[in-house]
Structure 1
């Protein structure tokens, strides 16, 4: 595991546990604001347009960060925050091949977390959400 405890986060999706590293140097504002919401709990569902990814729809929630370190092509294990605009605010968690999009077209989200532990559980997690439906998701300090 690389990173100090302040740079790491426990991410739980259903029975699967991951450790993710904040991308503090690349997305400092997104990381700072997201940390202020910890612990963050919601539900995740399978993405409709983005390929092998699950997402957390957040509606018209005003997150407060602009675009930084944004991408439409997240890598396996990347977690993005789309701060809203053309589509609703959302989190996207790529577990495989993904191209971030919505019914409005291609989106770019802030890559602010990268899974550094538990990567072997990414595909089983994604398949579980696809075939079993919505799952609880939690983002918590690593010490929790």
Structure 2
């Protein structure tokens, strides 16, 4: 599905008036699937940085050490971010940014059980985005990436937010 086509089955986002970040709906197109996500107010610095990157295009590959997850390797990129709202055991639909240190900088996209780690051992990362629509396609995307290889991924503001 092309990024400029409307997402099938996704209804307009419902903003949370108590949380400006939750009011920002992010459309994620990964392989043939689309998801809608909201920013986490508990990670304000990570959210602020990621917003400056939008629209953000990359390749999504399957994790090597962490279980049912996919990642965007960012190498030695140093965003100068602290850990915020960090976890080592994210849930399906949570998207994390690991700011680097023990392992390379990365974005982790969880579709099932994840114990975030590198070859050096357990890690924690900042949970900054949560998928709120399209979660029924997470496992299918994960299996596609596992068996068919890297998929294009695009993070962009939802049309209603532009």
Smaller-chain TM-score range? over 0.9
Bigger relative contact order, structure 1 or 2, given CA contacts below 8 A and separation 6+? Answer: 1
Q: In the alignment, is residue 122 of structure 1 matched against residue 134 of structure 2?
A: no
The residue aligned with 1:3 is: 15
Deviation of 1:2 (Å) = 3.9
1 CA distance for matches of 2:47 and 2:113?
Answer: 24
CA contact (8 A) 2:70 2:109 kept: yes
The residue aligned with 1:32 is: 48
Deviation of 1:3 (Å) = 2.7
The residue aligned with 1:82 is: 98
Deviation of 1:63 (Å) = 1.6
Q: Report Cα offsets for 1:40-72 as digits up to 9, x if no partner.
A: 111010000110000000000112211010000
TM-score (norm 1): 0.95
Runs (4+) off by over 3 Å: none
CA contact (8 A) 2:23 2:38 kept: no
Unaligned runs of 5+ in 1: none
The residue aligned with 2:36 is: 19
Mark the structure with the bigger radius of gyration.
Answer: 2
Aligned residues: 143
What's the RMSD between the two structures over aligned residues?
1.3
Unaligned runs of 5+ in 2: 1-12, 17-21
Q: In the alignment, is residue 100 of structure 1 matched against residue 116 of structure 2?
A: yes
Q: 1:131 aligns with which of 147, 150, 156?
A: 147
